[in-house]
Amino acid sequence: MDSASEHSETQARLALMLLSAVLWSLFGFDVLVFAGSQLATAHESAVPAAASIWVPWWDMEHPVSGVYMAVVLAIGAVGLWFHLRMRKVDGEALPIGRMTYPLLGAIAVAVLVDRYAWNVIAELTASSGADETVLGERDEYAYTLTAAHMIGEVLWTVLAAPLFEEMVFRGLLLGCLLARGWDPWVAVSVTAAAFASTHGQYYLPGLISVFVGGLLFGWLRIISGGLAAPVLAHVAMNAWVVYEDWAELQAV
């Protein structure tokens, strides 16, 4: 089979994976958390002394909780890769893409646009008279950030989350929609909406910001032909947020 025929066949297989793509994108993280909770509960029931091991899993205030979440997302990323490998579509769904100097510039532009968009969203929210708490996370997701949390924040927020989310949304889901012949920008918009819908920890301003970020990541995926550019942009955006949190801690 020549390379063109092989590519066409792989695209056809990927196009048929819409249900799989939707399940991974909308419920993948929740399933991972549920599985982790079941494992923790079973371990604690079988070995009562093991309860101390799982304290960071149940308590987000614990400094090591972010490390646990990073491990879960890393397992999810490996699991997704293995799933796509078994279906023989990993190369089409998870392409690395190009990385050139112009694309590095595009990544920088995307990060700056995202931060500018957040400033606009924050100003519009404030001018509407809304309580400024809506610019943060919902109470049930909020926790007190300390310097001891920073290692976990970097592993979870800056590294593991961008990799897993880009593999799922700009990789499998967007790749599947494109393989089905969707217009690229319609596919990017739908993927961005799905991406935002999984961030239920935020109020409307935060969801809008995540949607804008999803559009930018999708744009980078289209122009670069792969995931390296959106992953780097996602890492940079999240790192900027963590840096600002760190700066606020130092200022206290």
Residue 251 has pLDDT above 90, yes or no: no
Residue 223: predicted pLDDT: 98
Q: Is 202 helix (H, G, I), strand (E, B) or coil?
A: strand
Percent of the chain's residues with pLDDT above 70: 99
In this prediction, residues 152-176 reach a mean pLDDT of 97
- What is the overall mean pLDDT for the chain? 95
In this prediction, residues 98-124 reach a mean pLDDT of 97
Q: How confident is the model at residue 5 (pLDDT cuts 50, 70, 90)?
A: confident
Torsion of CA 7, 164, 121, 250, to 10 degrees: -140
In this prediction, residues 50-79 reach a mean pLDDT of 97
Residue 6: predicted pLDDT: 82
Domain boundaries, the chain: 3-251
Q: The tokens 């519009």 sit on which residue?
A: 124
Residue 87 has pLDDT above 60, yes or no: yes
Report residue 134 as tokens.
């809506």
Residue 2 has pLDDT above 80, yes or no: no
Residue 224 φ then ψ, to 5°: -95, -20
**Which pairs count as long-range contacts for 66-70, CB under 8 Å and 24+ apart, including other chains?**
66/149, 66/151, 66/152, 66/153, 66/154, 66/155, 66/156, 66/157, 67/151, 67/152, 67/155, 67/156, 68/36, 68/152, 69/152, 69/156, 69/160, 70/152, 70/155, 70/156, 70/159, 70/160
